[in-house]
Amino acid sequence: MSFPTPENMPDLNLSTPEKSGATSSVELNETLLGSWIKRLPGGDLEKYTELYLDALKGFNQTNSNEHQQSIMLDLFRKPLNDLLFSLTPLKLSKIYPDLDERNKIIATLAELMAELALGYNKLIIDSGKKIANLTRNPIAIFAVNRACEQLSYMALHAYKFNREVPNRVFNELHQIYQLALFSEVEKKIPFINQRRRLQAHSSIKERYAQILLLSISNPYGLKSGEVLHAYQIMQQFAVAAQIAPLPMGAKVIAGQFYINCLADKIPLPSELPMLENQTQPPTLVLDTKLALGIVDTLLKQTSGSIESPATIDRNVLKQLIPYFNTSYERKQQRIPVTGNKQVTLTIGLSAIHQTLMDIRTRTDEDISVSALPWDILNKNKKGYLVCRRDVVGNQKLNVGDFVAINEANPNEKPEIKLACVRWMKTDSNDKTKLSLERVDGEPMAVKYSLDSLSKIRPAILFPETNQAASLITVAGVYKRDKTIHIIPKKKRFQLNIKLNKLIDRNNGFERFTFRDV
């Protein structure tokens, strides 16, 4: 037997662990497993994740009863999820400067979270064979909650490292929520009283809404470290958001996103799902109107930066809110490519500076990161959408970085434009897409120093045109009213300036306006 589902939904079809070899070495004692996990080499992430994955895969092959499964899976769960929320892309790049090592750890962590989700899926199915009534099966309700959590974390991990969400994650989330909704347990916060009390922290509805709200809010456009904060913000919106089956004969309504529960997709606005035979699939409606109603309350809790988990970054919140509005659209539609099919992107402030200075002698490192041809997918006056293979996880390229664009042919005079990376995503075939927004104005290579004794460093200057003059430097320079010394290209004079308003910032760059002293 298995749990009943709505009439318009097929039977539950969740991924489960693949059967493999012997499991004689698997630890089935909860005390010993807890001690083993604590002894893992946390300082060596590569070894830690490999050992963790082997043990979890082994446990998922066992035929332990549902009570033991729930206890043991929760022992595996906590350290892994703690790592998810503590390991930022910046922190990982500092621990492992080597790109291949980082990519291996990111992939192993993704596999670990997938394996844990498989374990909870298995627990749902195994417990359903005993008691097929979900409302009378506390272990199954608990497993549904945990499976929803872990599938959400698979998506969150992908967003955090600008990776494509693994196949079936959203399809299985939709199935699980439909199951909970049909049995009217979606708002329960489940617990199990066993040798250990196991307690969920949120309802299935809140877990599901939280990841859906993040998914419709352009997570690939968030800067390093902002994804986790955005997910925490969504916890407050998830309580207010409404999710319900689409009524018969319903029409598109502003503020509503539509979920095709047979598909592996995030909610979409403006169009009702439709199958090839022009029938409507089982559809849920995510309504964001009530969530938008608490924005003013949240803005009162905000600060200018992320200072603590309880503090909401006003800038991040303002980035997210427009996407809750179903009428929010791109300011300018991109058009198909005509003319050049490729651009060369110069990456890194030093390399951009050298390009603008027209210095041909560059270091090997500058050449390797800057001489990158990218295919143009589409473009408009405001920017480009480009793609390239084999730049997966490149931490020299992040959302918020500035890049120099040269669209000229090799035999033409270079016309250098500056752009900012607005979003970035790498798919399962190692193809990376970048959305680039052009910076208005003609960039100039200059140098600056903080005082007469400080090292002279490269910067990019945008003279005043129809907007205030601005300067791009490495991160950490900006402080309002701070004085720095600008040295132009020809070095005939030095300009002293005071810093005004911060325009943009990420872990590598800052752009700010200034005034003459």
- The ranges assigned to domains in the chain are 1-201, 335-355+363-438, 444-516
Residue 404, C-beta contacts closer than 8 angstroms, at least 6 positions apart: 345, 346, 351, 352, 355, 356, 370, 416, 417, 418, 419, 443
Answer yes or no: are the C-beta atoms of 322 and 328 closer than 8 Å: yes
Answer yes or no: are the C-beta atoms of 126 and 139 closer than 8 Å: no
- Dist CA 233 CA 294 (whole Å): 12
pLDDT-derived band of residue 308, with 50, 70 and 90 as boundaries? very low
Answer yes or no: are the C-beta atoms of 315 and 304 closer than 8 Å: yes
- Dist CA 182 CA 184 (whole Å): 5
- Dist CA 151 CA 365 (whole Å): 39
- Dist CA 516 CA 471 (whole Å): 13
For range 3-17, the mean pLDDT: 92
For residue 134, the model assigns a pLDDT of 95
Percent of the chain with pLDDT over 70: 88
For 474, counting Cβ atoms within 10 Å of its Cβ (0-12 exposed, 13-18 middle, 19+ buried), the class is middle
DSSP class of residue 321 equals G
Tell whether the model's pLDDT for residue 483 goes beyond 50.
yes
Answer yes or no: are the C-beta atoms of 78 and 116 closer than 8 Å: no
Maximum Cα interatomic distance, the chain, rounded to a whole number of Å = 84
Tell whether the model's pLDDT for residue 8 goes beyond 90.
no
Residues 139-162 have pLDDT tens digits of 999 999 999 999 999 999 999 999
Answer yes or no: are the C-beta atoms of 287 and 242 closer than 8 Å: yes
**Token pair listed for 217:** 């809010």
Burial 60-79 (b: 16+ CB within 10 A, else e): beeebebebbbbbbbbbbeb
For range 482-492, the mean pLDDT: 82
Comparing 45-59, 84-98, 293-307, 342-356, which segment has the lowest mean pLDDT? Answer: 293-307
DSSP class of residue 288 equals -
Answer yes or no: are the C-beta atoms of 73 and 64 closer than 8 Å: no
Tell whether the model's pLDDT for residue 490 goes beyond 90.
no
Q: What is the CATH number of domain 335-355+363-438?
A: 2.40.10.220
**Token pair listed for 374:** 């990218």
Residues 269-283 have pLDDT tens digits of 988 998 888 788 999
Residue 60, C-beta contacts closer than 8 angstroms, at least 6 positions apart: 17, 115, 118, 119, 122
Percent of the chain with pLDDT over 90: 65
Tell whether the model's pLDDT for residue 338 goes beyond 70.
no
Which is higher by pLDDT, 340 or 254?
Answer: 254
Helix, strand or coil, per DSSP, at residue 312 = strand
